[in-house]
Amino acid sequence: MRHNVRMSKSSQWIVGLNAVAAALEHDAEHVREVLLDAAAKNPRILDIEQQAQRKDIPVRRVTTQALDGVAGGLRHQGAAARYAAAKTLDEHALAGLVAAAAGQALLLVLDGVQDPHNLGACLRSAAAAGATAVIIPKDKAVQVNATVRKTSAGAADTVPVVSVTNLARALRELQSLGVWIYGLAGEADASLYALDLRGNVALVLGSEGEGLRRLTREQCDQLVQIPMPGGFESLNVSVAAGIALFEAVRQRLA
């Protein structure tokens, strides 16, 4: 596959300087080996090599053609790493994550996002906002793959990702834990900016084409919209996620 080069069910190749460096910094125990371009002059290549060697991770200097092969069409910038399958938590982790947030849980829920670049961008925004976790469904949605890791620029290794079997059930569990569930929908009457986002909050966004599914909508405490005076009906899901998350950040910092 062009966007997710898997070597087996338990490992995958991640490529690019930022993705490989982030994996070594945040989750080195799951990096199996690092491949670096033997002809590369970029000083970051040497930094990555030294970082891997300090952590006793095998490093091989290879040809550009070899890196092209494992990258599967992605821009590798002279670095690739064979990485254990992406770390995701299951729904049993939700209670502990919310409890640890001590009344300030900020959760991003993505209902069926299909594009790995969108998921990666959402993870990056979530990490920057200090989100408690990102929740995704296991079925009919992209999972954390090589493209997601590269797009997230390391965020996939820093923000907890919870993959749930039944999203509506997970939202009900969050409600039982004292989390308010707000769904973003373009046709909603209420504004995102009218909400109090300072407590335990989950922000729910739908897929690129269909938006929120019916069962997801029904589980939300309230549907809200991002006001758009320019007349557009919708925003890219990763842009909308960033706006919603940082409105919560703005309120909490204030």
Binding residues for S-adenosyl-L-methionine are 206, 226, 235
Q: Would you say 171 and 220 are in contact if contact means Cβ atoms under 8 Å apart? A: yes
Rounded Cα distance, 14 and 177, in Å: 36
| φ/ψ (deg, to 5) at 98 | -65, -45
- Amino acid type, 165: T
Closest CA to 183 of 199, 173, 166, 195: 195
Query: Which residues, in sequence order, are bridge partners of residue 114?
Result: none
Q: Are 71 and 14 in contact (CB under 8 A)?
A: no
Annotated binding site: 206, 226, 235
212 vs 146: CA distance, rounded Å: 26
